[in-house]
Chain A
Amino acid sequence: MERQSPLFTVFVYAAALLLAAIILAPVLWLFVMSISSAADLSTKPLNWWPNEIDLSRYRLLLSTIENSAGASFTASLLNSLKVAGMATLAAIAVAVPAAWAVSRTSQISWSLYAVIATYMLPPVALAVPLYMGLAYLGLLNSVFGLALVYLTILAPFTTWLLKSGFDSIPKEIESAAMIDGARLDQILRIITLPLAAPVMATSALFAFLLAWDEFFYALLFTSDLRAKTLTVAISDLAGGRVSDYGLIATAGVLAALPPVLIGLVMQRALISGLTSGGVKG
């Protein structure tokens, strides 16, 4: 619309600001909590902004002194990175050929629906068989075991996303390459995968986030620093007799940082991935 009344413009901006506030307010409050002293957090009425900025909890959580709260937090941070990273890489490796095959062969698209159907099962339904399976393989309380479990969640999800990505790349481009003399691996490597790069980046990011935020399986299948992930570590902080809400908030802020950083780095690819379908021949 070229002509808009000033009132309408005000309304549009107000709506945008409201949305931003709703999304950002919890994050902001988390940050304020993490830098407030315990006294500020427990006064009535609440101090919305701390009297003095207290960064001691960041020091505590990031310290590397053995057997400290910091050591266990950084260990779980590392575990989370390992588990989410491995599961994401494996999921993409599995999903790319699967998604391409399903996208190019409509006769087997039912198989993807079958896989997606299992995805609808609540995690609790699978918890016991997965536990027994991992125990049998000796993979309980192991980052590899947890990554394997996450792979079962991520692979269908990434296959689904990648399939729609491949769908938007015209089949004729591959036919043309075939007539031009490219082998299957060359078609994928030189043409299809570069065109699918944005959607692959998007899938990888969402897969990483999904694995990063997972709590239920991590709680069940890990027991100590060797494999415990961030989400479990944070819940441990809340599990003591005295809960330091500031500490939990600090852990939350630190836990949010890696995905945010990855998101920022991949921002360009991410945006073009979310608006994919713009592939023109």
Chain B
Amino acid sequence: MSALAIQNIHKRYGEVETLKGIDIDLESGEFLVLLGSSGCGKSTLLNIIAGLAEPTGGDIRIGERSILGAHPKDRDIAMVFQSYALYPNMSVARNIGFGLEMRKVPPAEREKAVKETAKLLQIENLLARKPSQLSGGQRQRVAIGRALVRNPQVFLFDEPLSNLDAKLRMEMRTELKRLHQMLKTTVVYVTHDQIEAMTLATRIAVMRDGRIEQLGTPEEIYDRPATLYVAGFVGSPPMNILDATVSKEQLLILGDDQPIDMPVHFRSVVADGQRVKVGIRPEALRVAKGGETGAQFKARIEVVELTGPELVTTARIGEQRITACLPPRSAVTAGEDRTFVVDVDVLHLFDPQSGRSLATD
């Protein structure tokens, strides 16, 4: 039985259609991340699940029950907001227990639940404080505690980490993962941060212009992006996209005179002379030392940036730029011509018109 079913959801604001038919089926215990840049409709979808907005068409079911038209409090959901949305005039304990208070849970039971939740989130010592006396990370924990304490069917997170600084964001990310592994709850999580999506999700829905571009596990999204958009959105630095033409079962990258081999499974789907876009992950590229097998091409190195764990190298093939993430001690210097090598199997091919992957599964 699916824990949450989103069926053909449409949302229209006057002339503007922000959601154009969304279908997602979530199993119990899944961690779904809605990933997309701002304005793609991911927050609208979350608000529709929460009951803060009503869809123009479609249905949402939790368990066996359609929840459309139900008041947010009757949907058995809890939500964590980007701005935390804590009640500033109440203590942390009352903030966490407010949902139980409103549901007329007896005070003794409530206090016990609040204590347990606080212990889980390591904020027991903060229970008497007001939100204004807390740091950003502590506030975020309280907001999560407020959702956890009610033990709902589905948790909704609306960019919960984007107000935190980088270090804290990583800590809280791990914390969220730990909580999900421990509690095995169903989560819908909205973010524009692809690293959050990759690390937290059991499935990712990449959204764009009110549609789902691709729905799949993090591995599928990363290893087999369905479209150019997904390929460019997930991964940091993003995937290199190069113009190329098919020539006798080989690929000729624009600006390079040496054709490279084409992955076997693409040979049947492309025609000779067809223009394609070739996708290469920066981390798949290596500098040729001689004697390698795989696709090789020459490029002139333009910029070399050491980030610590890797050397981000930008190079040029004719007019096309390409980024490679090399080991930190690679001996490359700006200005020289080097041969790069990449395993043929990890090349991606996309149709330049539709932007869709040419891979057939």
Instruction: Give the B-binding residues of A (Cβ under 8 A).
Output: 170, 172-173, 175-182, 186, 190-191, 194-195, 279-281
Contact = CB atoms under 8 A, between A and B. Distances in A.
A195 B98 contact: no
B60 interface: no
14 contacts: A170-B83, A170-B85, A172-B81, A172-B82, A173-B87, A175-B85, A176-B81, A176-B86, A179-B51, A180-B73, A181-B103, A195-B88, A281-B85, A281-B139
Contact of B131 (A178, A180, A190, A281): A281
B145 to A, nearest CB: 12
A190 B73 CA distance: 17
Contact of A194 (B73, B89, B102, B132): B89
Given A175-B52, A181-B102, A195-B88, A281 B83 contact: yes
A179 B89 contact: no
Contacts of A279: 88
A190 B97 CA distance: 14
Given A172-B83, A179-B77, A281-B81, 5 more contacts: A172-B82, A173-B88, A175-B79, A280-B88, A280-B131
Interface residues of B, number: 27
Contacts of A180: 73, 98-99, 102, 146, 150
A179 B79 contact: yes
Contacts of A182: 73, 98, 102
A185 to B, nearest CB: 12
B232 interface: no
Interface of A is mostly: helix
Closest 7 CB pairs of A and B: A181-B102, A180-B99, A172-B85, A181-B73, A176-B85, A281-B83, A179-B72
A103 to B, nearest CB: 16
Interface of B: 50-52, 71-73, 77-79, 81-89, 98-99, 102-103, 131-132, 139, 146, 150
Nearest to B50: A179
Given A186-B102, A280-B132, A281-B131, A179 B87 contact: no
Most buried by B among A173, A180, A190, A281: A180
B197 to A, nearest CB: 22
Nearest to B75: A179
Most buried by B among A175, A182, A195, A281: A281
A177 B85 CA distance: 9
B89 A195 contact: yes
Most buried by B among A176, A177, A190, A279: A176
A198 to B, nearest CB: 11
Given A170-B85, A191-B89, A179 B131 contact: no
A179 B99 CA distance: 8
Most buried by A among B71, B79, B89: B89
A181 B50 CA distance: 12
A136 B276 CA distance: 85
Contacts of B89: 191, 194-195
Contacts of A186: 102
A186 B99 CA distance: 12
A4 B360 CA distance: 72
Nearest to A183: B102
B89 to A, nearest CB: 5
Contacts of A179: 50-52, 72-73, 77-79, 99
A281 B146 contact: no
B81 A175 contact: yes
Contacts of B77: 179
Contact of B88 (A172, A175, A181, A281): A281
Contact of B72 (A178, A190, A281): A178
A178 to B, nearest CB: 5
A281 B78 contact: no
B87 A191 contact: yes
Contacts of B78: 179
Contacts of A173: 85-88
Contacts of B102: 177, 180-182, 186
Nearest to B87: A191
Nearest to A186: B102
A47 to B, nearest CB: 55
A280 B131 CA distance: 8
A179 B146 CA distance: 11
B152 to A, nearest CB: 9
Contacts of B85: 170, 172-173, 175-176, 281
Contacts of A281: 81, 83-86, 88, 131, 139
Contacts of B131: 280-281
A182 B86 CA distance: 14
B88 A176 contact: no
Contacts of B98: 177, 180, 182
Contacts of B132: 280
A179 B77 CA distance: 8
A190 B86 CA distance: 13
Nearest to B147: A179
B159 to A, nearest CB: 12
A281 B130 CA distance: 11
Nearest to B152: A179
Contacts of B84: 281
Contacts of B83: 170, 172, 281
A173 B85 CA distance: 5
A179 B50 CA distance: 8
